[in-house]
Amino acid sequence: MKLITASILPKVIRKRPVDSFKGTYGKVALIGGNQNYGGAIIMSTLGTVSAGAGLTTTFTAPSNQSSLHAWIPEAMFADYQDQTLLQQLLPTMTVISLGSGLGTDQQALELIHTVFDLVTPHQTLLLDGSALTLIARDHLQLPSANIILTPHQMEWERLTGVKLAEQNPETNQRAYNQLAANQPHLIAVVKSAQTEVFTPTGAFQNTTGTPAQATGGMGDTLAGIVSGFAAQFADLDAAVLAAVYTHSAVADQLAQQQYVVLPHQISAALPRFMHEHQAE
Ligand SMILES: NC(=O)C1=CN([C@@H]2O[C@H](COP(=O)(O)OP(=O)(O)OC[C@H]3O[C@@H](n4cnc5c(N)ncnc54)[C@H](O)[C@@H]3O)[C@@H](O)[C@H]2O)[C@@H](O)CC1
Ligand SMILES: Nc1ncnc2c1ncn2[C@@H]1O[C@H](COP(=O)(O)OP(=O)(O)O)[C@@H](O)[C@H]1O
Ligand SMILES: [Mg+2]
């Protein structure tokens, strides 16, 4: 297994061309955040916008609208139950992220079906949190798209059947091979204290991260950052590796002076970190 080190950053984070505009940096739809888990999709949104995505729309429960805008006015709000809006907007997106704080009720399941029907092969679809739990529970077939899965270890167990205690680079690779077999391009980010990333071109282990990250919303934030990187940077595998590295590298920096790192603090520190690591 190769290691994900700082050397990934200059390959991915490039100085922005002078004549670029928001359209250059991709459109992202983040779908999730039910009445109880609004914080999850707000934290994802903070990650995506702070990572530099050009335009971000957050599809969530209407009760989350004012908190979303209080936290991050740069993001647009859409009601995730509005079928017309979903059908109008999702085809225009570079990246769709589905599942952070979505919950697992019937409404959530129907939303997954809607997104799976609408997504096209040239789009990137990130699946996180509740979406992964529902896909595993109902044996849903993944649509044809560039798929990024971001399971924690229990979600990975649900998806693949590999028990948490038996998860290691070898068993995870075998499970990844099975999942990826019928997909044009699938990336699995198996999150833990030593996150492993499986791509069609290789398997990688992250070298950053701290127990100060062990708090709710940390994975929602990662899903947002990965979406922001995937929207902007052309090489999808490298973009995901750089996002995974960056999320925890920023946490490591903050943890030098903090007992716990709050997920939104990672997003707040992201623009400066990316500035420091951009290459010509
Ligand atoms: N502020 C918010 O709105 C938050 C919403 N969240 C959302 O809540 C939904 C449910 O996600 P959860 O992950 O909380 O619940 P899950 O039920 O999916 O997974 C948690 C269960 O897995 C077990 N587990 C074992 N090993 C684990 C590991 N390495 N990492 C995580 N869990 C492990 C836990 O003990 C627990 O029983 C998701 O949609 C998620 O996005 C969470 O992200 C927490 C914060
Ligand atoms: N001890 C740890 N060391 C490093 N990273 C950790 C540690 N504990 C948790 N993390 C990171 O925090 C995130 C947790 O994701 P997840 O469980 O999905 O969070 P949530 O769903 O609450 O947002 C992952 O990116 C994981 O790698
Ligand atoms: Mg999660």
217 CA to centre of ligand 3 in angstroms: 7
pLDDT in tens, 177-228: 999 998 999 999 999 999 999 999 999 999 999 999 999 999 999 999 999 9
Residue 152 Cβ contacting ligand 2 at under 6 Å: yes
Residue 153 Cβ contacting ligand 1 at under 6 Å: yes
Q: Which atom of ligand 1 is nearest to the CA of 164?
A: 26
Six-digit token string for 216: 């709710």
Cα separation, 208 vs 218, in Å, equals 14
pLDDT in tens, 33-64: 999 999 999 999 999 999 999 999 999 999 99
Cα separation, 46 vs 74, in Å, equals 9
Ligand showing the shortest atom-to-Cα distance for residue 154: 1
Domains of the chain: 2-277 (3.40.1190.20)
Query: Is 19 one of the annotated binding-site residues?
Result: no
Residue 220 Cβ contacting ligand 1 at under 6 Å: yes
> What predicted TM-score, i.e. pTM, was given to this entire model?
0.99
Query: Is 152 one of the annotated binding-site residues?
Result: yes
Query: Is 39 one of the annotated binding-site residues?
Result: no
Residue 152 Cβ contacting ligand 1 at under 6 Å: yes
